[in-house]
Amino acid sequence: MKARRSLLTSLTVNLALPLAVYYVLRGQGAPQWQALLISSAPPALHALAGALLRRRTELFDLLVLVLLVVSAGTSAISGDPRVLLLKDAALPAALALWMAGTLFTARPFAYQFGRQLRTPEACEAAERQWLTSPEFRNALRGLTLLWAGGQLLDAALSTAEALTLPVDAVPLIGRLQSIALIALVVLLTVRLAHRFRDRHGMSLFGTRPIPTPEAP
């Protein structure tokens, strides 16, 4: 439940709210660069609030704030709103690099994400599986690469759109594209997790391993 609320909040703050703010401001006659700048405020404020509540700064939260400041300053000087659109493309690129980077840490992104879905007992079971099962480790590393690839594709498409499409069309197209790619990656993740469970008798994200039937 907590993970679902967190995901819903993230989608609202980072996707839906900026889109609504942008088109409301444009409907009131605000310049494109100004509407893009103001619509970037909710994700930045959310990142700042999260850092203050945790009393520590996460790398991705810091990146959101830095990109906003740099792109806002550049856009204000040049008057080009496409600079702010490129910021939105840089975020999934950075997220993809971070996800891929977790492959070189103690636990990859997919394992860390799964930890939010499990009970404490299930976390212990998952830790035992990580330490003893190469198949479990390889599956979670593969899913981490899948999520990183989805974010990298989002970044590449967003960059092309920011440079070629009409500015007012890019926020809507970009948000719909991000949602579609996330939905596709989630669907693939669910299917791969089900296939892994059927093949190996253990769950990648569930509450506990599936018990092996006893021999008669």
With cut-offs at 50, 70 and 90, classify the pLDDT of residue 210. very low
How far, in Å, CA of 96 to CA of 181, rounded? 13
CB 93 within 8 A of CB 152: yes
Domain definitions of the chain by residue range: 2-200
Enumerate residues 6+ apart whose C-beta is below 8 A from 159: 86, 89
pLDDT at residue 18 is higher than 50:
yes
CA separation, residue 75 to residues 38, 80, 151 (Å): 12, 5, 25
Cα–Cα dist 86/81, whole Å: 9
The pTM is what? 0.81
- Predicted pLDDT at 6: 64
pLDDT in the model for residue 62: 65
Which residues have CB under 8 Å from 30's CB, separation 6+? 38
pLDDT in tens, 26-57: 999 999 988 988 888 887 777 777 767 766 65
The token pair that represents 27 in the structure block: 């409907």
The closest of 32, 9, 189 to 99, measured between CA atoms, is 189
Q: Read off the pLDDT of residues 84-106 as tens digits, 9 standing for 90 and up.
A: 888 888 888 988 998 999 999 99
Residue 214's pLDDT is what?
46
Neighbours of 84 (CB within 10 A): 27
Give which of 19, 5, 8 is closest to 177, Cα–Cα: 19
Give φ, ψ of 132 to 5 degrees. Answer: -115, -15
For residue 24, the model assigns a pLDDT of 95
CB atoms within 10 A of CB 11: 15
